[in-house]
Structure 1
Amino acid sequence: MLNTKTVKMTKADKVFMGLIYVFLVLSLIIVLYPLIYIVSASISDPQMVNSGKMFLLPKGITFEGYSTILENDNIWRGYMNTIFYTALGTTINLAVTLPCAYALARVDFSGRKWMMNFMLVTMFISGGMIPSYLLVKGLGMFDTVWAMVIPNAASVYNIVVTRTFFQATIPREMEEAAIIDGCSDFKLFMKIVLPLSMPIIAVMALFYGVGHWNSYFNALIYLSDKAAYPLQMVLREILVLQDLSSNATGSMTSSMAEMLYSKQQLVQVIKYGVMLVSTLPVIVAYPFLQKYFVKGVMVGSLKG
């Protein structure tokens, strides 16, 4: 084994390492500053935030924004809707992606290359927003939970990654041995393949889950009932309300403008608080899935 202590770095190596450390420190600052700013702004005095006096650390600490969030039924309803859409959507995604990817990974599946090429076309060519809207409405899914989970039931990219994982990880000899022992294809998939595929399952659950958690476009075009809005749509309405309020102050009396200005400042704090609340579950869940995430992505990228 090479002893790194005995290796002497040249002047060029030291300069290169110094540049790497500088780049890493700058990257860390770029990533951390928005996060720290959002946390600080969510508990700071709205006037300090709007005037720009709060640069990094909180000033005039107040939890009025969070108290308003906890008392707002729309935010809690949006939170519960998002959790439901994410759980149901991710379950459907995995139920579609895993069997499809395993079937395409089987060398004895007739027509798998043609099917794979046909699916790859959909990554570059789609029907468009209007035909998709008409299809969802024609199927009776408009203004229902199914409009949030069915149109995005599978991702071709995730299917390709999962298929590559199956090809690189599941030995064909193991499958043949199980078939010789009388194992059916369904039992082979459920009892042997899935237990050996926990890394890629965790990766796909993370990919799909984050996508559902951050999704708002389907709700924007498919949902008209505000009671079914996900959290991202509630946050969008808060941002739109703030912009509309700032544009309407010119035609109001001084007392009305002052009241609206105070409300607008509170909305500013609520905005940062909801941002933090909406991203907190993903931040909490990621450390538990990180080892599977790294392993699954690396193994899934070995072969094309």
Structure 2
Amino acid sequence: MKTIYGYLIGFFAATLLLAGCVKDSFDGEPMGDAGTTFVSFSEAPERIIYLSPFTDVRNVGIFTITKFANSNASLNNPLQVSIKAAPEVIDDYNEEHEADYEFLPEDIFTVVNPAFSATADGFNIEFKSGDFAQEYTIALDGSKFDLTKKYAVAYILTNSGGLPANAGKDTIFAIVSVKNDYDGIYKYTTSANTSVIPNQETEVELQTTGPNSVQVYPGLLGAYSNEVFYTIDPETFAVTVSCPSLGVQEPQDARSVWNPDTKTLKVYWNNASGAYTFEETYEYIGPRP
């Protein structure tokens, strides 16, 4: 995927969960001494979960602990591991990203997977013979989810049952959020005045990045990897633009606006140097998967 930096510079390639309690035989040749059985968080170090708005109680898989067995014998050995809540990991994330996430409150969910038994500061997780993964699944009450707050969970593997933990995969940080009103799949068009790709027509996604902000995917003009963010004022529906790689000329164009009735976003902006003009329209098609 191409990237614009003030002027066009080349082309860049762009590329962009084990579930529940799973039992299966070991697939493949036993590794014996050639490998070591170990334990890790499959999604470590970080996972972001965005849910469509709901008001009932729904099961949500948050993370998975996996036993990577080097043989059938190892797979069939029962195992107990322990994890500990790590609010300090959330604090570190907040400081690094200037965010304000807080630990998902216990009064809005219950743990579904019976393999997880609560301890004073976390959970013990049981792997029976043949289990290679246990998913931390919760029943989340959407009616109690406060959309004005940002929630996350963080855990550290403190006891791997005598097995080594996979380096760099012993801590999990997972954001649990609900998609905002602007999130979805959109028909994207540009005007004849737009630089680089005038009269563009394609399909893009606007992905939630906060209560009132979205990011364009796959990126600038639906064709480049430059990140572009839109923030919508929920009272006035005025839109502001952020494009870290190109910058945005200030003051921003007051014509940029969100229409909540038609779910249409119209955006007018120039990059910081004024070399490029963007006149964009996003027309809502439907929700993202």
TM-score by length of 1: 0.20
Q: Which protein, 1 or 2, shows the higher relative CO under an 8 Å CA cutoff with sep ≥ 6? A: 1
Between structure 1 and structure 2, the one with the greater Rg is 1
Name the structure where helix makes up a greater proportion of residues. Answer: 1
Name the structure where strand makes up a greater proportion of residues. Answer: 2
TM-score by length of 2: 0.21
